[in-house]
Amino acid sequence: MRIKKNVEKLLRFERVCRIATSGRSGVPHVVPVVPVFDSGKIYFGSDGDAKKVENLRANPHAALTMDVYSEEWSALRGVMVQGTAKLIDKGPRFRKLRRLLYDKYPQYPEDAALEDGSVIVEITPQHVFSWGLD
């Protein structure tokens, strides 16, 4: 799926988004993550035993939102992405994506290092809805 330039800009430069997952039970689980956008996909790191990862192992469908709030509501803008997740836990691709995350978030290596037992979640967009990004 092609992402519009104005949506890509928001996905590339904002620092936090919320990811929604649900496992076999269907109970929603929403948490903040710090993403990077690369080659049309969204990536974030996690502990391999986190609830969001457990949910994605059972059900690879996810949704995320990234928005910019303003007291001037006419300036509100954001994006919602629905897509499928793939878990990456080792190898050259893991190391490349970890470097992208570490470059965007310099505190990552010291405060939340992605090492053995960590995964990087790849979200492939299937549906994108945006607001205020005309």
Look at residue 39 and tell me whether its pLDDT is greater than 90.
Answer: yes
Does position 126 have pLDDT exceeding 90, yes or no? yes
Residue 56 in tokens: 């994605």
Bridge partners of 31? 19
Q: Is 87 a residue whose pLDDT tops 90?
A: yes
125: how many CB neighbours lie within 10 A of its CB? 20
Residue 41: phi, psi to the nearest 5? -125, 160
Mean pLDDT of the chain: 95
The residue segments making up the domain with residue 64 are 5-131
CATH number for the domain harbouring residue 34? 2.30.110.10
Domain count, the chain: 1
Q: Is the pLDDT reported for residue 90 higher than 80?
A: yes
CB within 8 A of 115, min separation 6: which ones? none
pLDDT tens-digit series, residues 43-64: 999 999 999 999 999 999 999 9
The answer to whether 115 touches 47, Cβ cutoff 8 Å, is no
**Beta pairing partners, 128:** 81
Q: Residue 40: which pLDDT band, with cuts at 50, 70 and 90?
A: very high
Question: Is the model's pLDDT at 28 over the cut of 90?
Answer: yes
Tell me the two tokens of residue 118.
């960590």
Q: Letter for the amino acid at 14?
A: E
DSSP one-letter code for 2: P
What percent of the chain stands above pLDDT 70?
100
